Every structure is written in structure tokens, then in C-alpha cells.
Amino acid sequence: MSKKTTSSENRMVLQLFTYWKRISKDRLFPSLVDVDPSAIADIWSSCFILDVTSETGRPIFHYIGKSLERDRQIDLALAEIGKSDDGDPEQTPPTRLGQAAKTYRQVVLKKAPVSSGGVFEHPNGKTILFRSILLPLSDDDRKFNYLLGAVSSREVSQVARSSFEVQIGTIGGQWQMDLVADDRDEALFVARRRYSG
């Protein structure tokens, strides 16, 4: 994987994370009303918002960016994450949007942003390399109402897939991204606050 490609894939994740930190101001988490699509217009079409207040316990899509809409095989605006077309709650749709959104449980559990990256086989038969981030949004700075996410991707050859690696590490300021899971096809990072002492 070239440094240019890695840098480009990291850029969207870092840009959205930096924006999220800025709109948080002195709070732990920003709210949905703080999100201004025009402030991140260059990446907004690759963003999505999950509503995590569903009575079923699984989030639903509140917003899906235009560049992600083509992945829709079902009406994702109404679909619940973690439930496939055949009703299996553990299956994730093999799309960029499905792969990016599947880490929502980690965000809720860790109460922190989560970035993931990996490869998967798209229904069109192509191998897709993706990098994504999910960021918590809260109206009261305690309970999450929504998750703001973004995903970047590109098609890769089988050779590139076999040499997959993710590099993210420190993302600036008081946050550090820690690698919590890594296998041949996917890596998961969870943000944590760094404390000086």
C-alpha cells in the first residue's frame, strides 16, 4: 500500500475526528444539532448518521451520504444495523456502509470514537479496502442519541489484500487511538483520552 493512498484514506477519518473535537467545545460529546454539513462539505457525501435510540436496541440510519447510497440493497434509511436480509442479527451487509456501521457497539460500550479498517468482498465480486470512523453524539453529554460516521474505500487486488495493514495511532490533542483487534482482514481502533500527569 502506498504512503499516498494510506494518507488519503486516513485524511477523511482524521478530518471528521478533528471536526468532532472542535464542535465538542468544552463538552465530552457534541450533539446532532452541532453537526453542520457545510463545515465538512468535502466529505459529507461519505458520511452517515445512526440513530441509536431505537426500541429494538439496534441503530437505524438517520442520514446516508450520496456516495454511500449506491451500496444500498435494501432501504437502509429504515434498516436496522446488525440485521441482515435473512433476519440473522449477527450478519453485516457486505457493503462499505455495513462494514463501517458494524462497530457501533464498540462506540457505545467504550463511550469513545472508534475507527476501523479492513477488506471485504462486495456483492459485485470486488475486493474493497475501507477505513471508517464512528463518533458519539449526545444531547446531554451522557447518553448517546446518534453516531456520526464516515467511510472511505477503494477497490484492491488480491495481492494488495494479502499485504493489508492499518496505521493510525495518535490522532492529536487529548485523544489516542489504541489498536484493540487485528486480523488479516480488519483492524479496530478505539479512542481514549490521554491524561498528562
Domain boundaries, the chain: 3-193
CB-based contacts of 126, cutoff 8 Å, min separation 6: 155
SS3 for 156?
strand
Q: Is the pTM of this model over 0.85?
A: no
- Mean pLDDT is highest, among 16-20, 68-72, 73-77, for 16-20
What is the Cα–Cα distance from 82 to 133, expressed in whole angstroms?
A: 17
Phi, psi of 36 (to 5 degrees): -115, 105
What is the Cα–Cα distance from 40 to 91, expressed in whole angstroms?
A: 31
**pLDDT band (50, 70, 90) for residue 154:** confident
Lowest mean per-residue pLDDT among 27-31, 87-91, 129-133, 183-187:
87-91
Homologous superfamily (CATH) for 3-193: PAS domain (3.30.450.20)
Cell of 60: 437505524
